[in-house]
C-alpha cells in the first residue's frame, strides 16, 4: 500500500500520480484444498502465481489431516506492478494434476481516504484454491479482511 498526495496545485494530477506510483503485488492464497482428496497426507500442494505470463512467486500448502479454523492463508509477494491491464494466472499443482485459474485485472487499485487529500494505491488479490477450481477476487488496496 502506498499513499500519495491528491490533485492540488502543489501535486501532480491524479492521472500522473496513478502512472508514476507502482504498488507491490501481494496475492493472498486461501486454502480450500489441504483436507480434500486432491491432497495426499504428508505431501504439499504447490501454488505458482504468474503476472502477464511471468512467474512472480510461489507458495506450498501442506496437506492436512483435519480442517483448521480459520482457513489457513499463504502470501505470495510479487514485484512492483506498472499501471494498466494485467493477466493474473494461478496454477495449483496437486497430486491429482494441475488446476489453473486466470483473470484480467486493472492494477493498481486505488482508494481516496476520508481526508479527500490523498490517494492510496495497492495490489492485493485474494485467491481461493479448491480441489477443482480457483476463485480470484478483484484487486484491493488493503489486504483482505481477516489477515
Residue 141 in any domain: the answer is no
Residue 143 in any domain: the answer is no
**DSSP string of the chain, one letter each residue:** -EEEE-SSTTS--HHHHHHH--EEEEEEEEESSTTSTTS-TT-EEEEEEEETTEEEEEEEEEP-SS--SSPPEEEEEEEEE-SEEEEEEEEEEETTEEEEEEEEEEESEEE--TTSSEEEEEEEEEEEE-SS-EEEPPPBSSPPTT-
How sure is the predictor about 91, in pLDDT bands with cuts at 50, 70 and 90?
A: very high
Residue 142 in any domain: the answer is no
CATH number of the domain encompassing residue 26 = 2.60.40.10
Q: What is the pLDDT of residues 67-87, one digit of tens each?
A: 888 888 999 999 999 999 999
Residue 69 in any domain: the answer is yes
pLDDT at 12: 56
Residue 101 belongs to what domain range?
Answer: 2-136
Average pLDDT over residues 34-42: 86
Residue 147 in any domain: the answer is no
Residue 51 in any domain: the answer is yes
Residue 130 in any domain: the answer is yes
pLDDT at 57: 96
Domain count, the chain: 1
Mean pLDDT over all residues of the chain? 86
Nearest CA-CA partner of 61 in 89, 37, 30: 30
Q: What is the pLDDT of residues 118-145, one digit of tens each?
A: 778 889 999 999 989 999 999 999 888 7
Q: What is the pLDDT of residues 42-64, one digit of tens each?
A: 899 999 999 999 999 999 999 98
Residue 144 in any domain: the answer is no
pLDDT at 66: 81
Amino acid at each position: 500500500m502506498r499513499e500519495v498526495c491528491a490533485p492540488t496545485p502543489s501535486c501532480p494530477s491524479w492521472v500522473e500520480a496513478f502512472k508514476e506510483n507502482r504498488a507491490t503485488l501481494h496475492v493472498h492464497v486461501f486454502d480450500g484444498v489441504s483436507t480434500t482428496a486432491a491432497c495426499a497426507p504428508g505431501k504439499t500442494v504447490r501454488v505458482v502465481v504468474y503476472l502477464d505470463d511471468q512467474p512472480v512467486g510461489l507458495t506450498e500448502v501442506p496437506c492436512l489431516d483435519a480442517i483448521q479454523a480459520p482457513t489457513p492463508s499463504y502470501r505470495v509477494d510479487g514485484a512492483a506492478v506498472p499501471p494498466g491491464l494485467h493477466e493474473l494466472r494461478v496454477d495449483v499443482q496437486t497430486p491429482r494434476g494441475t488446476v489453473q485459474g486466470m483473470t484480467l485485472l486493472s492494477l493498481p487499485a486505488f482508494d481516496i481516504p476520508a481526508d479527500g487529500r490523498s490517494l492510496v494505491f495497492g495490489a492485493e488479490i485474494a485467491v481461493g484454491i479448491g480441489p477443482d477450481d480457483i476463485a480470484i477476487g478483484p484487486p484491493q488496496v488493503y489486504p483482505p479482511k481477516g489477515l
